[in-house]
Structure 1
Amino acid sequence: MREVRISNTGSLLELSRRLRAAGGENIRQSMHRRIRRAAEPLKDDLTSTMRGLDIRSQGRGQGKRGGPSLNDRPLRATIADAIRISVRTGASPGARVWIDRGRLPAGYENIPHQLNIGRLRHPVFGNRRRWVNQYATPLWWDATVRRHTPRMEREVARVLDDVRRRLE
């Protein structure tokens, strides 16, 4: 799964240096908060898209029965809860939206990437001799990010302009 980064490295690095030199802690906190606010609608949209993602099965064969689930939490909710934002204003400034694999159950680390591709192949209830395919809307992550990118770039540019004006 690809992470999303909001950055204009040259401008952000220059402003970060100027903020440190000016000692403007209040300005830095404001910039941090506003960049985070620019990324939050993307995170919210990614979370709601994941929770509503259509995942279809190839169907159960005749005479086949189910079994206990290996996880007690629903898959979509588990992945949606693992979507995170981080904002940095120091050495490598910018915002990042990503899926925190550490918050996913063991064995689920690659599932968000597989769902973004559109096909999830997994063993049936842990039986590694029987595998099944499930299908999801392909590129759900990429399409959501593409919808939000122009707005986020405008917001970050506005924040940078405001900070530059306050430093002058």
Structure 2
Amino acid sequence: MAGGGPPFSLGVETHEGLAALTRAIRAEEDGKQLRKELAANMRDALRPGAAEAKSSIMSLSSAGLPTAPALRSSVARKIRPEVKLGGRWSGARVKAFKTKNVRGFPNAPKRLNRAGGWRHPVYGNREIWVQQHGKVDWFDRAFEGREGHYKEAVEAAMENMAQRLAARAG
């Protein structure tokens, strides 16, 4: 780049900016450590959103008999920020992962968030099935009105790393 500036664009708010930042980090001698640091900073920016989503699922009413393992807390444990810097998808998001081995209900996060709910047999009796509804949009409502804040926090982490790399190059 002419003018002695950094070899990448500092406008990292786009996917192309993230890809350019990742390439610039790879070119550095301590690139692996810088990548880990960038990913950690981006995850830290999303942690409050993950905590809000966990709080939202835990506020779901529970009217059934106590069974183990508890569905709400199992789903809450599977909510976490995810960052990928390369490959087919690059970016940062808060994700509710599948709940394997939880009462035979691996899609619990998705079904609890859906208006249609899910069908299940009554106490294992395959003759009687019921339709059950969760708290509609519990996951989506946790981020309502705050999407911009989380996006800005992730972009600030990316911009901070870009500035550090620019200072090294300059």
Q: TM-score, normalised by structure 2?
A: 0.74
Tell me: CA distance 1:135–1:127, structure 2 relative to 1, closer, same or farther (3 Å).
Answer: same
Do structure 1's residue 101 and structure 2's residue 108 form an aligned pair?
Answer: no
**For the structure 1 residues 102 and 52, does the alpha-carbon distance in structure 2 shift closer, same or farther, using more than 3 Å as the test?**
closer
Deviation for aligned residue 1:22: 2.2
After superposition, the CA RMSD in angstroms is 2.5
Measured against aligned partners, the alpha-carbon deviations of 1:120-153 in whole angstroms (never above 9, x if no partner) come to 3321011121122333321111121334421111
Equivalence map 1:58-69=2 (5 Å): none
Shift of 1:96: 3.3
Question: What does residue 60 of structure 1 align with?
Answer: none
**What pairs with 1:72-91 in structure 2 (closer than 5 Å)?**
72-91=68-87
- The partner residue of 1:11 within 13, 17, 26 is 17
SS in structure 2 of the partner of residue 40 of structure 1: helix
Shift, 1:117, TM fit: 1.5
CA contact (8 A) 1:11 1:160 kept: no
Contact 1:12 1:160 in 2 (8 A): yes
Amino acid at match of 2:22: S
Residue of structure 2 in register with 1:4 after alignment: none
The one-letter code matched in structure 2 to 1:100 is: F
CA contact (8 A) 2:57 2:72 kept: yes
Q: State the aligned residue count.
A: 151
- Residue 12 of structure 1 deviates from its aligned partner by 0.8
2:49 maps to which residue?
42
When normalised by structure 1's length, the TM-score is: 0.75
Indicate conservation of the 8 Å contact 2:97/2:109, yes or no.
no
**% identical equivalent positions:** 28
User: Does 2:116 align with 1:110?
Assistant: no
**What's the counterpart of residue 28 of structure 1?**
35
Amino acid in the other structure paired with 2:42: I
Q: CA–CA distance in 2 between the matches of 1:8 and 1:89? A: 13
Amino acid in structure 2 at the alignment position of 1:94: G
The answer to whether the Cα contact below 8 Å between 1:83 and 1:99 also exists between their aligned partners in 2 is yes
Is this contact kept in 1: 2:42–2:158, CA < 8 A? no
Letter aligned with residue 98 of structure 1 = K
1:120 aligns with 2:127: no
Q: Which runs of 5+ in 1 are unaligned?
A: 1-6, 58-65
